[in-house]
Structure 1
Amino acid sequence: MVTFGCFPSESHTDTQFKPAGVLKRFSMTSGKVDDEPSTWDKYGVKLVSALCVTLLGIGLILIIVFETQRAGPAPKPWQQFRLPDTLTPIHYDVEVRPDLTTFVLTGRVDISVRCATPTSYVILHSSDQEIDRNSAPTVQGSDGQKTPSVTSWFLFPENEFLVLELSEDLREGEVYTITVYFRGAVRAALNGFYRSSYVNEQGQTRYLGITDFQPQDARKAYPCFDEPAFKATFNVTVVHQQEYTALSNMPLESTESRGGGWVADRFQKMVRMPTYLLAFGVSDFVSINSTTSTGIATKIWARPEYIAAGMGDYGLDVANRVVAYFEDYFGVPFPLPKIDHIALPDFNSGAMENWGLITYRETRLLYDTNSPSATVRKATARIIAHELAHMWFGNLVTMEWWDGTWLNEGFASYIQYKGLDFAEPQMNVMEHFAYDRSQSVMVDDSLTSSNPVYRPVTTADDVTQIFGSIIYSKGASILRMLENFIGEETFKKALKTYLSKNAYGNAVQDQLWAELTTAAREDGQTDLDVKAVMDTWTLQMGYPVVTMTRDYTRGTAEVTQQHFLVDSASTVVVTSELGYRWYVPLTYLTQANLANTPVQTWMAPNEGSKVITIQGASANEFVLTNINHAGYYRVNYDPTNWQLLADHLNGDNFEDIPADNRGTLVDDAFNLARAGMLDLTTALSMTQYLVKERHFIPWSMALRATSYIERVVGSVPDISDLWEQYMRQQISPFYEEVGWTLLQGDYNTEVGQVVAISNACGYGNGRCVNNATMMFDLWINTNNNSHIPERLKSTVYCTAIKHGGRPEWDFAWQQYLTASASEQNRLLSAMACTRDTDTLNTYLERSRDDSLVRRQSAPLVVESVGRNSVGKSLAWSFLRDNWDFYFDNYDGTSFTMTGIVEDVTRQFSTQADLDELETFLATHPNQGTATQAFSQAVENTQANIRWRRDNEDKLRAWLQAQR
């Protein structure tokens, strides 16, 4: 505010502006802890003097006063969320000493920095650490000249800063070394430098320590400049008890004894990278190794018994071949001499792409070839390919700031399919892409509470919340769409240039768009502006539904686009400068030309509608749009075309429509019906052909789409029973055809059998249920489950526990306590299948005890119970009553809180459910990293209530007609 007058405003004392986080500061001159920071004294507002001009001969004085705003002084640099850009780190020497007996971590860090702007402060990140007051932080110049001394320092927890105050300014362009001695914990929480454990074959508990730093947790292990743009080189020394082996990003350089059973391992100098990619650990793990065709040393590390059992062999083979493939694909060599892959008993996420030392949850890296499973094999190969793709996208070239995280995760989530396809060509994985990636994220992205893949990040919670399905799956989907319209060779050429130009640096998406545009124009697409196209997909949330209305007489079609919202009654609050319109690469085929290359035409944002000539379609033939679901949009047709498609699916030649498009037709139809854009009976009619379908992709996509009905009417007994009968009728022919004899063949055959059996049992096929329970009973009677095929264990366990009683559940619990990691995961999910509410409550209570359920697995229990129609209200009550437990243990970790809230609330469909949610939110204003998940839960619940009101009677009538 600006006021006019001739008097200065009243001064402000510094105590009005003192940050709550600053409690004490350590004076380097007195050696004492001061109660008040000296720099806050006399910190008043600066005023602009009044200017009075006397006009001669008139006696009139004109006074013009410019006064600064009365809001107070400009904030100190440590009061900002972001680090100041006054210093640039060049190199770190990090020495850590983790004690796996006392779980204390001590260490020293020397950071070489260059002064970019003169400053009397050194500000870097430090969290959950004690700074050694006996060896206080120092700053030393490299030129031998007099260096400003550190007069005092303090921790500012609010922004996780360590602040050093200097006697005078550092000089621009000069290099200085910051030295800090620190002490912290080998943490119980699964971030920073944390501990894990396992029980070996001799019954001994063995501990290990490992890092997990992304996105903001390097500061929990050592003081550092913990932002992605502050790249530097690193030397790491790990001092450890000699019974353990130390690992870091680079190969071992030297080892020396430190006495008393301790050794110091120093690792070779690491290339420039951000702090979140630094990794180090100590364990008693062993490894297997190999060398890639390009000379990179590759190892798989795990518990000794797992390596001895050959559970690392498949991962080693995949990792070896895929990294060499990526070197060729990107045209940029892998710059490090080695890559270690380590399987951890406790790990917060699936894996982390630390450069040269990739960390995984055990169940994601290890694969038991003695218990083969196509789905596990695919999951293992896919996650290895994902993390290896990061070695280029994310590690070699890093986003400038977390708002560009999708450049890392979207690319890795897409490029992983190329690596997986190379490793397992018989899987035909690109056919899986729509199911794996696009289908589920499109539901989240059709809410008004969604967000763009590129969005501002201004708080710590923003950083963590950005790691969600939008940046991973939507990011991957729009990149696939981009490659589809620009061409694979042009895409590859642009990526090579982008990676080469920005190697070891940071980049923003516009730099990538520029390289793609240049490559496209060189290759003949002279009018393509990639930035203009892709801005419509990255800078605004959501996606369009393209409606095609055919003129069957003229052979034309009018196409329109609009922002698709699954709840038509919702209102978009966040405006978009682009108007929620997109550049849409529209592809289509006609019924007579399904084997041909798709026709492509563009819809521009400024085209409200467009008339296209349909090439080769007669009036009695359908048109199929968005071939292979390569475009990130939904398609609606006029009623006649929908009927033509349904008729073809119900005919003998339905398989000439691509498998992913068969699934997409069902998915689009049900979501359009949810939005009120298509009659529900039309969507339901698209499922009738499934009685003939034998491919797992259309079945899987259809089951995911129709699961919405099960969620919202699960509490309406007559409709729920009718729906179960109908779906049992549709799946049973598939089940009867494949049976329980293990089918050997291609990936589709094996996974198709699993889909058929699991859903036949799930929908209550009597023969399936009986067979599953008999297998489980035999396990109980013989204490041996070798007769249950690996690929069918999850189905057998869940079915038997669902249709059994407490004895079956108690047996599963006892097996769980001593099972391997992968078996534990199956049993954790299966035990949530029981329909006994007392047992479910017992299960939820046990999940809080980390001596019974590993901390990383506790969320899986409440999520699985929440997905059970019987357990919905139990899981919600448990989450609500134990909110502090979950918030304290899991807030700040990617995906965890979001996943819990999504699974526990996804079945909410009544006004009572909505009231419960809103009451909870009113009494818990801080939801941390679950904030967006709760917003989506409210929006979904409101939509579910309206859907039930508008469709229950229609659904009931249609299902009764099918009997």
Structure 2
Amino acid sequence: MARFFLLFCAAVFLLNFFALDVHSEVPQYEKLPDQDIRPLAYDIKLLPWMDTKDWLLEGETKIIFSSENGASVLSFHFHHWPPLYFEIVFDDLDHNVTIQSVTFNDTTDQVKVQLGEELQAGGTYEMYVKYEFIMTEEPSGQGIFKREYQEFGETRENTPGWLWATYATTQLMSTYLVAIVIGKFSVLYEPSIVPVFAFALPSRIEEASVAVQSSAFILEYFGNTWLNFSYSFPEMSVVPIESHPFGAMENWGLVQFNPSLFYYLEGRDLIAQEKSVIRVVSHELAHQWFGNLVTMDWWSQLWLNEGAASFYQYFGADAYDPEGKWMDRRAVLGVQPGYYTDAFTTALPISQEVYDGSFEFAQGSIIYRKGCAIHTLLLNILGNAYFEGTTQYFKDYGYENTRNADFLNALQQAADEESLNLPTELSYIMEGYLYRSGVPLVRVTRSYEDLQESVYFRQERFLLDGDDDDGSRYFIPFRYITSGRSEESEIS
């Protein structure tokens, strides 16, 4: 039976909010200016007119925020300014803060509010906006979300009227992970570490079986086995969205898919379609930890999210579908395409120590595929310490924002605890791979001069659009054996 469902993960917000699409060309994004305020909670009320008013979505948002050191200017993101109603109230609710001026930049969707007074340091305030959803659209603009949804039905007095459905408050999360899905869906259920649901069009609900079954298995596998850190939300839902602009989006607890990567019907579709569904499901579920539980501090270090998800997706898929040769697929699909993109002089580094709008995104293939290759390198260097360090990373930084150094330090600590004899600090080993573009080419030659056998290694940058070695060098650990020794030796 088809029913109207309002799905929250809070999850792709259907109000045209800024979304990050590294699958295609990514526009430059202007960061909000530094300001001494911190969002604490977002209280969202929505009234969707599903059958009338052309699906108009009315609503109201209350943002509770604190003033760290006092501030007289507020900046935030807003789409389609101005709202129907806007005010800022001090926490005792009997003092409206004076607003001197409001300016809106329709290129960046940023609103700047000049206050007529300075906010009190340490004070808590509430901002009310009617009709549109409003937020500080930054990875670090975290808060908890409480959602209420109004629908027409039978009131307690058994008379027609509007009812409010109130949803549980979320954990602390970044605002770009918030989304709402409203539609007429049928639903499938699978038990896992939390209940897992697949919502789909009633006419296609049977095609959602692989998506919901793989989601239930892989979610439990990641939480209990591979990542050894429990999933944080009380349920998981997966849903296809017609004309979804990306392949999928990892919104916390409500993963959305383009239908082409969600539906599969045995006997009608090719096996390749089933494999695509499994791979994308595994990728988005890996994001529930890498990106959602721990979020990069700024988009310049997006590889912390996408590189890890691109790496772990093959382990989740392999556990669910052990005959799929997923480790072979990781090499062919997950790593090698990144080498190609990175082998041009126009390639950009996968990451930058830049925390404003001045950075340039690397190509999506580099962020995803080279990110996968970097995690493969880390696993080969560290062995079990890689997984121990990753678990510690979640424990140390859950519900927080991180930078490259935080992740590498967690791995370094695990390596030290296991007494690994690394040739140097892990941060130094990884510096070239993170902050320089390019693929290293190593030439190995053997020499027998004076009856002495020697092996020489020479490194240069591999390029497909020229032979001008720019001098980029990378720290490359090697393991080798000789005819006279059965155990491995290492050089760097």
Alignment of 1:200-349 (within 5 A): 222-240=133-151, 263-292=163-192, 294=193, 296-307=194-205, 310-328=206-224, 329-349=226-246
What SS is found at the alignment partner of 2:315?
helix
CA deviation map 1:324-376 (0-9, x unaligned): 11112222111111000001221111110000100001121221123353322
CA distance in 2, matches of 1:540, 1:341: 37
Residue type matched to 1:582 in 2?
Y
Which of the two has greater strand per residue?
2
Question: Which residue pairs with 1:389 in the alignment?
Answer: 286
CA distance in 2, matches of 1:420, 1:278: 26
CA distance in 1, matches of 2:465, 2:215: 43
With normalisation by structure 1, the TM-score equals 0.45
CA distance in 1, matches of 2:254, 2:328: 31
Question: Which residue pairs with 2:473 in the alignment?
Answer: 581
Residue type matched to 2:466 in 1?
S
Q: Report deviation, 1:144.
A: 5.5
With normalisation by structure 2, the TM-score equals 0.86
Q: Report deviation, 1:525.
A: 1.3
Q: Does 1:151 align with 2:100?
A: yes
Q: Does 1:435 align with 2:327?
A: no
Alignment of 1:594-605 (within 5 A): 599=488, 601-603=490-492
| Equivalent pair of 1:345/1:362 in contact (CA under 8 Å) | yes
Residue type matched to 2:388 in 1?
K
CA deviation map 1:790-814 (0-9, x unaligned): xxxxxxxxxxxxxxxxxxxxxxxxx
CA distance in 2, matches of 1:440, 1:598: 33
Q: Report deviation, 1:556.
A: 2.7
What SS is found at the alignment partner of 1:584?
coil
Question: Which residue pairs with 1:563 in the alignment?
Answer: 461
Q: Alpha carbons of 1:569 and 1:362: their partners in 2 closer, same or farther (altered >3 Å)?
A: same
What SS is found at the alignment partner of 1:346?
coil
Q: Report deviation, 1:509.
A: 1.1
CA distance in 2, matches of 1:149, 1:272: 30
CA deviation map 1:740-791 (0-9, x unaligned): xxxxxxxxxxxxxxxxxxxxxxxxxxxxxxxxxxxxxxxxxxxxxxxxxxxx
Q: Report deviation, 1:440.
A: 1.5
Q: Which one has the largest radius of gyration?
A: 1
Residue type matched to 2:171 in 1?
V
What SS is found at the alignment partner of 1:180?
strand
Question: Which residue pairs with 1:452 in the alignment?
Answer: 349
Question: Which residue pairs with 1:162 in the alignment?
Answer: 111
CA distance in 1, matches of 2:141, 2:277: 32
Q: Alpha carbons of 1:87 and 1:438: their partners in 2 closer, same or farther (altered >3 Å)?
A: same
Among candidates 47, 56, 70, match of residue 97 of structure 1 = 47
Alignment of 1:661-810 (within 5 A): none
CA distance in 2, matches of 1:571, 1:391: 40
Residue type matched to 2:122 in 1?
G
Q: Report deviation, 1:264.
A: 3.8
Q: Does 1:499 align with 2:388?
A: no
Question: Which residue pairs with 1:112 in the alignment?
Answer: 64
| Equivalent pair of 1:402/1:457 in contact (CA under 8 Å) | no
Q: CA RMSD in A?
A: 2.8
Q: Does 1:408 align with 2:358?
A: no
| Equivalent pair of 1:349/1:361 in contact (CA under 8 Å) | yes
Q: Report deviation, 1:105.
A: 2.7
Q: Alpha carbons of 1:373 and 1:602: their partners in 2 closer, same or farther (altered >3 Å)?
A: farther
| Equivalent pair of 2:198/2:212 in contact (CA under 8 Å) | yes
CA distance in 2, matches of 1:507, 1:440: 27
Size of the aligned set, in residue pairs, is 458
5+ residue gaps, structure 2, are 1-28
Q: Alpha carbons of 1:427 and 1:104: their partners in 2 closer, same or farther (altered >3 Å)?
A: same
CA distance in 2, matches of 1:480, 1:257: 61
| Equivalent pair of 2:301/2:403 in contact (CA under 8 Å) | yes
CA distance in 2, matches of 1:364, 1:344: 10
Q: Report deviation, 1:436.
A: 0.5
Question: Which residue pairs with 1:422 in the alignment?
Answer: 319
Among candidates 86, 111, 117, match of residue 36 of structure 2 = 86
Deviates more, 1:139-148 or 1:228-237: 139-148
5+ residue gaps, structure 1, are 1-78, 184-221, 244-254, 573-578, 604-963
CA distance in 2, matches of 1:418, 1:514: 24
Q: Does 1:360 align with 2:257?
A: yes
Q: Alpha carbons of 1:242 and 1:367: their partners in 2 closer, same or farther (altered >3 Å)?
A: farther
Q: Alpha carbons of 1:234 and 1:368: their partners in 2 closer, same or farther (altered >3 Å)?
A: same
Q: Alpha carbons of 1:523 and 1:110: their partners in 2 closer, same or farther (altered >3 Å)?
A: same
Alignment of 1:526-565 (within 5 A): 526-527=421-422, 528-551=424-447, 554-565=452-463
Question: Which residue pairs with 1:519 in the alignment?
Answer: 414
Alignment of 1:604-619 (within 5 A): none
Q: Report deviation, 1:548.
A: 0.7
| Equivalent pair of 2:300/2:359 in contact (CA under 8 Å) | no
CA distance in 2, matches of 1:131, 1:297: 38
Q: Report deviation, 1:498.
A: 0.6
CA distance in 1, matches of 2:336, 2:58: 47
CA deviation map 1:204-238 (0-9, x unaligned): xxxxxxxxxxxxxxxxxx21110001110001223
Q: Report deviation, 1:571.
A: 7.6
CA distance in 1, matches of 2:488, 2:74: 59
CA distance in 2, matches of 1:427, 1:490: 27
CA distance in 2, matches of 1:304, 1:257: 32
Q: Does 1:121 align with 2:13?
A: no
CA distance in 1, matches of 2:368, 2:66: 35
Q: Report deviation, 1:423.
A: 0.6
Q: Does 1:141 align with 2:93?
A: no
CA distance in 1, matches of 2:30, 2:381: 43
Q: Percent same amino acid at aligned positions?
A: 25
Q: Report deviation, 1:89.
A: 0.1
| Equivalent pair of 1:240/1:282 in contact (CA under 8 Å) | no
| Equivalent pair of 2:347/2:363 in contact (CA under 8 Å) | no
Which of the two has greater helix per residue?
1
Q: Report deviation, 1:259.
A: 9.2
Q: Alpha carbons of 1:391 and 1:597: their partners in 2 closer, same or farther (altered >3 Å)?
A: farther
